[in-house]
Amino acid sequence: MHYSLLDLAPVPEGSTAADALKNTGDLAQHAERWGYHRYWLAEHHNMPGIASAATAVLIGHVAGLTRTMRVGAGGIMLPNHAPLAVAEAFGTLATLYPDRIDLGLGRAPGGDHAVMQALGVNHQRAENFPNEVAELRSLLGPHVPGRAVGAHPGEGTEVPLWVLGSSLYGAQVAAALGLPYAFASHFAPAALEQAFDVYRRYFQPSETLAKPHAMLAVNLFAADTETEAVKLRTSMQQAFYRLRTGTPGKLPAPVDDLGSVVPAGAIPQVNEALKITAVGNPQQVEQQLRDLIDQHQPDEVILTGHVYDHAARLRSFEIGAAAMRNITQAVAA
């Protein structure tokens, strides 16, 4: 089983976007050495705590700093972009970095109504998502004689497409089109089991994928001690609470007592949304990952997690990689 990494290039309080982008490059180089199969970056807009808004640009930067690891979007919010523009951007990336680029696609706007207005996006575009995914696959596929408009670069690159989702809709689209499916279980776990079931039950084999391939997203907060890991997690818990209450900002510093900065009544709701999480020391994290894999039977796992301190973030993903290596070796045996 491959294990991968999702990075939103978090910007901690007291730092800048330049710091975040430097940290992303450093994490990616470490991740490649630790055996991560994919390194994905996600499109979000108007969020001071996330530096991955220009996702394709950052993918090119990370691909240039690494050598073998796949790099891609987890994902590009397709309603924000014309399929041709996406095909040209990712066709260019695939031409520069052959057989290393992935393109995950979502139908959310990656921001609120004000962001959609600023991007010139009509919310009805989301309703055409399946057709636009199919159009994009065609633009990245073989040459079509007589086609009025083609993607150059892009045509013939066959960039692998993924459908992303946090509901049953994405599962249905991925199944109908015969594409791999990544579920956003790291922040929206409610429909996880049903979505995987729908995707696998209704999957239609395609030229690019013969059988279903489902990816499970897991938050990771690993450290050498459980106490340290639990504290690391409080940064993301705070950030998620602020986002849900309409006050997003930079990634907060961790605290010893989450109840001192988040109302006690809100903590269970935050933890429920972030329940697909492995937190603790190396042994605890490995067991929790084993349990999640046993329960949901994913074909691939992608680890993520907003950690305030860069050195602690590196250590967390290093521990996660070691745990996943142990798990995959045990399965292979």
The full set of domain ranges for the chain reads 1-159, 215-333
Identify which of 200, 197, 158 has the alpha carbon closest to the alpha carbon of residue 180: 200
| Cα pseudo-dihedral 41, 130, 169, 81, rounded to 10 | 40
What pLDDT is stored for residue 110 in this prediction? 63
Quick one: average pLDDT of 282-299?
98
**Range 1-159 has CATH code 3.20.20.30:** yes
Quick one: average pLDDT of 129-144?
96
* Bridge partners, residue 25, by sequence: none
Instruction: Say if residue 232's pLDDT is above 90.
Output: yes
pLDDT tens digit sequence for 38-52: 999 999 999 999 999
Quick one: average pLDDT of 307-324?
98
Rounded CA-CA distance 290/1 in Å is: 12
Rounded CA-CA distance 279/228 in Å is: 10
Identify which of 3, 2, 6, 30 has the alpha carbon closest to the alpha carbon of residue 304: 6
What percent of the chain has pLDDT above 70? 99
What pLDDT is stored for residue 182 in this prediction? 98
pLDDT tens digit sequence for 244-259: 999 999 999 999 999 9
Instruction: Say if residue 327's pLDDT is above 70.
Output: yes
